[in-house]
């Protein structure tokens, strides 16, 4: 047991004062009706290291040490608050083992549940984060994560009886206090009432990781900045004896301070450690200090749940002698447990589900995604899914709900806050691909979108790309109702692309295509995907460059007018390296001579993709086909199909084959050998693929003959785009290495 020795002067108090103290009629224990000294448990912050608090609580239960109040900061507030609300530590561990804790830091709902306008960005080489644009210029988000998933998880865990909007924390099964930092004044805030889920969320709002939390008009951040081990708060709450659990975060070495993020993290660690030392000095000889051994773990090691919890158990066992005096007898501890259980309120029936008024988002807009039923069929998990879907539209910096008591029942108010760094949003990206033989492809991309231009949610989008393939497009889309469904869209686009031409393995030239187009579509859109149809008009100039040998026609101009049909059903959990789900895409374009088109073509392309995983092993398959259904096999140059490259006939050079019709089938396997931190991406993979395809390239020796390809690759699904490095071999005897970034493969 680690003890803090009391100052010698305490033992030289005048006998008269000592006598007065002895003569006092009650003690702290009897004032509260307890038969034992009040035990105040203090849980410090520490990120993932705070999971050790669960082990501490488990060991205290086994030793029959009562916890009469719990005070926590940051992760300590999270574990302490859940315990105070009546969830036993074994139940906490079971809940956490059934989920990926790191996903709580990822604001995005699963990809299949996101709005289709968000999934469209995956089809282009755009980074997985956006910047805000408003009258003040380009703005950064307040934090890497809004933390709304934490709040939803906690509300579902505690239920409608304990996650009430306003309640006295002294009335919980175990009295509770949480410490946060007032971000405007720098003062310490001790929460003793309110919505416990939001209070816990506020206490753990580490700057630049979780966005600050607004409560009652004030902005709060991580309590570790002012009191990471709030011994004084615990003693004032119920503590005859303080049991303090200090996780500690040792400063990083000089060698690791190699980035601005590392320096900022070090500053927070140093600031926190200073207030921890002051709190340690407040412990007395009767208090107990517990320090789990966590040298091998960082604040982000949420995947190491079991060993971190075990370290907390072991730390309590190491202090068994010091805690023995606090242990109750079997019957007395049973009475204490029964009293704690009796203070847990029953679940409330939810009879109303409405949008909160007076917010900066229209109530009808908030409720367009909320479909949970009230009454006997109400389900907090269903409501949480609806809220995640609403957040997936990309319009909100925060969305959540409050549970308000109404007699014995409850009313739920859904609240949302639009992103203050909007209303415009800007993305950048980089796409690159090389086979170390043909010209390397490098593209810089950007996208701007503006939502909620009117009350029905009209949006304006501008996409651009500069490099090997360049284009600029703009689209205005007008929904016909305030929900997913019918819409109208008008668009304009201009592009320049280069189509390579090969004879065998020899590159003999290229064709540059410059095209301008526009159109108007009507369609329907939903979370499953989108279907649109409408007229279009395009003009294209083609410029071949083959030196002295020109196997194609001279420079030509084309006009194309007709109808387009495009549809996509996209339920892949990741576009580049899906582990589950399916995708169906259909593109059809009919050139109509009566409308002024130079050709009468009906180009149709169909793509089917799917993936299924067993553990970390994924099996994927795809089928593609395209051609002119009119049968003349004479598509315009800009509409022709291309094959070649990683997973598109491995072994061939990038886009080596070009023709009017093609077919491609792919089987793939990849193993996810590591998972990236949520803020950096999805995972790292090793895999292989087998492909069979054919295309009627007029420059091939055997047009439309089947070609096989086999490839092996290393892949990474990152916030900067999908990366792939691989090698392929073709049945033509050709082989190639590949390196790609973005959706270029």
Is 74 noted as a catalytic residue in this protein? yes
Is 168 noted as a catalytic residue in this protein? no
What span, in angstroms and rounded, lies between the C-alpha atoms of 256 and 321? 39
Region 604-614 average pLDDT: 97
Region 671-684 average pLDDT: 87
- Is residue 19 classed as helix, strand or coil in its secondary structure? helix
Of 44, 68, 74, 279, the active-site residue reads: 74
User: What count of other Cβ atoms lies within 10 Å of the Cβ of residue 589?
Assistant: 21
- Is residue 350 classed as helix, strand or coil in its secondary structure? strand
Region 476-488 average pLDDT: 89
Supply the pLDDT for residue 625.
97
| Superfamily (CATH) of domain 39-107+145-343 | Cytosolic phospholipase A2 catalytic domain (3.40.1090.10)
- Pull the structure tokens for residue 461: 């989008």
Listed range (224-228, 462-466, 545-549, 551-555) with the worst mean pLDDT: 551-555
Check: CB of residue 604 under 8 Å from CB of residue 626. yes
Domain 349-418 coded CATH 1.10.10.1100 = no
Supply the pLDDT for residue 129.
85
Of 222, 435, 510, 717, the active-site residue reads: 222
Region 477-495 average pLDDT: 91
More confident residue, 680 or 197: 197
Supply the pLDDT for residue 632.
65
Is the pLDDT at 47 greater than 70? The verdict is yes
Residue whose entry in the numeric block shows the structure tokens 């180009």: 603
For 167, 581, 693, the CA distances from 622, given in Å and listed in that order, are: 55, 12, 12
Band (pLDDT 50/70/90 cuts) for residue 705 is very high
Supply the pLDDT for residue 635.
80
Percent pLDDT > 70 in the chain is: 90
What is the fold of 424-741? Porin (2.40.160)
DSSP-assigned states of every residue in 512-554: EEEEEEEEEEEEEEETTEEEEEEEEEEEEEEEEE-TT---S--
Query: Is the bond into 423 cis (omega within 30 degrees of 0)?
Result: yes
Q: What share of the chain is helix, strand, coil (3-state, %, to 5)?
A: 25, 40, 35
Residue whose entry in the numeric block shows the structure tokens 């479909």: 371
- Pull the structure tokens for residue 418: 């639009």
Band (pLDDT 50/70/90 cuts) for residue 19 is very low
Residue 441: strand pairing partners: 433
pLDDT digits (tens, 9 = 90+) for 510-547: 899 999 999 999 999 988 899 999 999 999 999 888 86
What span, in angstroms and rounded, lies between the C-alpha atoms of 196 and 82? 9
Alpha-carbon radius of gyration of the chain: 32
DSSP 2: B
pLDDT digits (tens, 9 = 90+) for 157-207: 999 999 998 899 999 999 999 999 998 999 999 999 999 999 999 998 887
pLDDT digits (tens, 9 = 90+) for 57-102: 999 999 999 999 999 999 999 999 999 999 999 999 999 988 888 7
Q: Exposed/middle/buried for 308, CB within 10 Å: 0-12, 13-18, 19+?
A: buried
Residue 476's H or E segment, with its range, is strand 470-479
Region 695-712 average pLDDT: 91
More confident residue, 559 or 274: 559
Residue whose entry in the numeric block shows the structure tokens 């304990």: 162
Supply the pLDDT for residue 3.
37
Is the pLDDT at 259 greater than 60? The verdict is no
For 9, 16, 503, 511, the CA distances from 13, given in Å and listed in that order, are: 7, 8, 101, 97
- Name, in order, each residue with C-beta under 8 angstroms of 737's C-beta and a sequence gap of 6 or more: 435, 436, 725, 726, 727
Band (pLDDT 50/70/90 cuts) for residue 633 is low
Mean pLDDT of the chain: 87
**How much is the pTM?**
0.79
Listed range (213-227, 346-360, 531-545, 618-632) with the worst mean pLDDT: 346-360
What span, in angstroms and rounded, lies between the C-alpha atoms of 588 and 531? 12
What span, in angstroms and rounded, lies between the C-alpha atoms of 345 and 342? 8
What span, in angstroms and rounded, lies between the C-alpha atoms of 314 and 292? 7
Region 584-588 average pLDDT: 97
Domain boundaries, the chain: 39-107+145-343, 349-418, 424-741
pLDDT digits (tens, 9 = 90+) for 97-155: 888 887 787 777 888 888 888 888 999 999 988 888 888 788 777 656 778 888 899 99
Supply the pLDDT for residue 26.
31
What span, in angstroms and rounded, lies between the C-alpha atoms of 654 and 510? 13
Supply the pLDDT for residue 611.
97
What span, in angstroms and rounded, lies between the C-alpha atoms of 54 and 46? 13
């Amino acid at each position: 047991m680690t003890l803090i020795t009391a100052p010698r002067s305490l033992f030289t108090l005048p006998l008269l004062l000592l006598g007065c103290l002895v003569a006092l009629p009650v003690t702290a224990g009897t004032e509260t009706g307890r038969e034992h000294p009040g035990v105040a448990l203090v849980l410090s912050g520490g990120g993932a290291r705070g999971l050790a608090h669960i082990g501490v609580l488990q060991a205290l239960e086994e030793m029959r040490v009562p916890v009469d109040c719990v005070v926590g900061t940051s992760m300590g507030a999270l574990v302490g608050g859940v315990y105070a609300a009546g969830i036993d530590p074994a139940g906490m561990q079971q809940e956490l083992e059934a989920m990926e804790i790191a996903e709580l830091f990822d604001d995005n709902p699963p990809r299949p549940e996101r709005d289709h306008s968000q999934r469209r960005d995956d089809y282009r080489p755009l980074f997985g984060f956006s910047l805000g644009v408003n009258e003040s210029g380009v703005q950064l988000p307040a934090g890497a994560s809004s933390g709304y998933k934490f709040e939803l998880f906690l509300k579902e865990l505690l239920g409608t009886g304990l996650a009430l909007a306003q309640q006295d924390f002294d009335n919980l099964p175990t009295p509770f206090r949480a410490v946060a930092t007032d971000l405007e004044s720098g003062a310490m805030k001790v929460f003793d009432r309110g919505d416990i889920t939001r209070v816990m969320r506020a206490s753990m709002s580490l700057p630049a990781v979780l966005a600050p939390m607004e409560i009652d008009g004030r902005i709060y951040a991580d309590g570790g900045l002012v009191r990471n081990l709030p011994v004084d708060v615990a003693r004032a709450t119920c503590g005859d004896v303080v049991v303090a659990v200090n996780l500690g975060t040792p400063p990083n070495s000089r060698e690791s301070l190699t980035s601005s993020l590392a320096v900022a993290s070090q500053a927070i660690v140093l600031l926190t450690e200073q207030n921890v030392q002051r709190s340690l000095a407040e412990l007395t000889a009767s208090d107990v200090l517990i320090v789990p051994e966590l040298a091998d773990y960082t604040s982000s090691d949420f995947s190491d749940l079991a060993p971190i919890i075990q370290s907390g158990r072991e730390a309590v066992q190491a202090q068994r002698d010091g805690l023995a005096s606090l242990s109750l007898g079997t019957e007395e501890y049973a009475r204490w447990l029964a009293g704690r259980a009796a203070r847990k309120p029953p679940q409330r029936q939810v009879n109303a589900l409405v949008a909160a008024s007076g917010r900066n988002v229209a109530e009808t807009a908030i409720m367009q995604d909320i479909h949970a039923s009230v009454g006997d069929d109400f389900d907090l998990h269903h409501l949480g899914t609806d809220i995640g879907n609403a957040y997936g539209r990309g319009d909100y910096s925060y969305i959540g709900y409050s549970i308000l008591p109404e007699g014995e029942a409850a009313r739920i108010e859904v609240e949302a806050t639009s992103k203050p760094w909007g209303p415009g949003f800007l993305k950048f990206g980089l796409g690159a691909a090389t086979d170390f033989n043909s010209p390397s492809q490098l593209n810089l991309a950007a996208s701007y979108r503006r939502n909620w231009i009117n009350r029905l949610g009209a949006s304006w989008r501008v996409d651009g790309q500069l490099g090997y393939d360049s284009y600029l497009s703009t689209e205005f889309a007008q929904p016909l109702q305030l929900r997913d469904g019918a819409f109208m869209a008008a668009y304009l686009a201009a592009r320049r692309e280069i189509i390579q031409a090969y004879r065998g393995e020899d590159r003999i030239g290229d064709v540059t295509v410059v095209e301008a187009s526009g159109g108007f579509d009507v369609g329907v859109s939903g979370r499953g995907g989108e279907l649109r149809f409408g007229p279009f008009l395009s003009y294209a100039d083609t410029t071949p460059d083959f030196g002295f040998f020109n196997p194609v026609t001279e420079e030509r101009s084309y006009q194309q007018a007709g109808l387009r049909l495009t549809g996509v059903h996209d339920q892949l959990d990741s576009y580049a390296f899906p582990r589950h789900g399916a995708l169906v895409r259909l593109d059809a374009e009919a050139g109509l001579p009566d409308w002024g088109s130079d050709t009468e073509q009906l180009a149709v392309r169909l793509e089917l993709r799917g993936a299924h995983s067993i553990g970390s092993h994924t099996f994927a398959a795809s089928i593609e086909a395209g051609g002119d259904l009119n049968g003349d096999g004479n598509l315009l140059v800009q509409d022709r199909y291309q094959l070649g490259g990683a997973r598109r006939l491995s072994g061939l050079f990038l886009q080596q084959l070009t023709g009017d019709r093609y077919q491609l089938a792919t089987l793939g396997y990849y193993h996810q050998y590591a998972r990236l931190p949520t803020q950096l991406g999805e995972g790292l993979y090793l895999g292989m693929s087998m492909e069979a395809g054919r295309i009627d390239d007029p420059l091939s020796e055997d047009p439309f003959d089947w070609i096989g390809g086999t490839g092996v690759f290393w892949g990474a699904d990152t916030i900067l785009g999908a990366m792939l490095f691989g090698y392929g071999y073709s049945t033509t005897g050709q082989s190639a290495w590949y390196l790609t970034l973005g959706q270029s493969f």
